[in-house]
Amino acid sequence: MEELLTSPSNVSLDVFLTKMIDLGISVGSKILLAIVVFLVGRWIVRRLNKLLAKILEKRHVEASLSTFVKSLVNITLTLLLIIVVIGVLGIETSSFIALFASAGVAIGMALSGTLQNFAGGVMILLFKPFKVGDTIEAQGQTGTVREIQIFNTILATPDNKIIIIPNGGLSTGLMKNYSKEATRRVDWEFGIAYGDDYTKAKAVIARLLDADGRVLKDPAYFIALTSLGESSVNIVVRAWVNAGDYWGVYFDMNEKVYKTFAEENLNIPFPQLDVHLLGKTE
């Protein structure tokens, strides 16, 4: 009986069972540890996501950018957690990291223009050089900002055309924001004929400006003789108005000056050419 129990086959079976039990305990402990790490990691990721959401809300970040940033951070933290869990299980993680890195490089090269527009959109939404409702001039286009997206900015022109401008060039190029300041300066240049009374013309323009309640008193308007042209004496006029009154004041002043100059016998000249004919002598 003792020989049977100590036979080579029984010894091999005992060793096999012992190794299997040891392996099961080792693998089970790793799996249990990986589950604990995953659960703790998910709790940390959720806490970080909530903290990020509070920070973005406190800083009044645009909703589109806030949503994208929260999703990006959540995905990045989840990927890092998965790599950590894989490492706890005893699996080599360097291959996974290399795979993610190579995939990132490939995607970055394929989407270089798109990523540039995305980066431009992030910069615009963070630093806010303009906002929805502002009138801007950029990339050779002028219009009112209808929408700021992650990759593009939507403009509506005065004649109601929709223009889509990529954020990459918009964030790095020259851009004029006509709505950034509360007031704007309106500039005109009016011409009178040579021989007309400049002092009278200046007084007429000043009277028209004083009569328009949209023209601000501070800063005061400016009227001066700017140049002696080929056909006219040119008067420059500069006045400050609220930004919303700019075009109304500009067009109304042109009409008033045209009508009032005629009533005051002040002539608005047009380009003319004098031709002198010399008679041929016999």
User: Maximum distance among all alpha carbons in the chain?
Assistant: 159
Asked if 173 and 187 sit in the same domain, the reply is: no
Tell me what pLDDT residue 76 has: 82
Tell me the C-alpha to C-alpha distance, in Å, between residue 225 and each of 148, 189, 201.
Answer: 44, 9, 10
Tell me what pLDDT residue 5 has: 45
Tell me the C-alpha to C-alpha distance, in Å, between residue 243 and each of 64, 177, 238.
Answer: 28, 11, 14
Asked if 64 and 113 sit in the same domain, the reply is: yes
pLDDT bucket at 1, cuts 50 / 70 / 90 = very low
The CATH number of the domain holding residue 188 is: 3.30.70.100
- Domain count within the chain: 3
Give me the domain span that covers residue 172. Answer: 134-177
Asked if 35 and 72 sit in the same domain, the reply is: yes
The CATH number of the domain holding residue 57 is: 1.10.287.1260
Rounded to whole angstroms, the Cα distance separating 225 from 168 reads: 44
pLDDT tens for each residue of 71-86: 778 878 888 888 888 8
Cβ pair 268, 192 in contact under 8 A: yes
Asked if 38 and 112 sit in the same domain, the reply is: yes
pLDDT tens for each residue of 15-60: 666 777 766 666 777 788 888 888 888 898 889 888 888 887 887 7
Whether 2 maps to a domain, the answer reads: no
Q: What is the pTM of this model?
A: 0.59
The CATH number of the domain holding residue 142 is: 2.30.30.60
Measured between its terminal Cα atoms, the distance across the chain in Å is 159
Asked if 63 and 84 sit in the same domain, the reply is: yes
Q: Which residue shows structure tokens 């910069």?
A: 123
Is residue 220 left, alpha or beta, with left meaning phi > 0 and alpha meaning psi from -120 to 50?
A: beta
Whether 37 maps to a domain, the answer reads: yes
Instruction: Give 23's DSSP letter.
Output: H
Asked if 105 and 38 sit in the same domain, the reply is: yes
Asked if 222 and 259 sit in the same domain, the reply is: yes
Cβ pair 84, 39 in contact under 8 A: no
pLDDT tens for each residue of 163-203: 999 988 888 888 899 888 999 999 999 999 999 999 999 99
DSSP secondary structure, 221-273, as one string: PEEEEEEE-SS-EEEEEEEEEEGGGHHHHHHHHHHHHHHHHHHTT--------
Asked if 194 and 155 sit in the same domain, the reply is: no
pLDDT bucket at 2, cuts 50 / 70 / 90 = very low
Q: Is the dihedral of CA 26, 27, 32, 34 positive or negative?
A: positive
Counting residues of the chain whose pLDDT is more than 70, the rounded percentage is 80
Whether 278 maps to a domain, the answer reads: no
Asked if 170 and 190 sit in the same domain, the reply is: no
Whether 103 maps to a domain, the answer reads: yes
Whether 4 maps to a domain, the answer reads: no
Mean pLDDT, residues 230-259 taken together: 94
Asked if 97 and 55 sit in the same domain, the reply is: yes
Asked if 115 and 60 sit in the same domain, the reply is: yes
Asked if 88 and 147 sit in the same domain, the reply is: no
Whether 275 maps to a domain, the answer reads: no
pLDDT tens for each residue of 115-170: 788 888 888 877 888 888 889 998 888 999 988 887 889 999 988 899 999 988 88
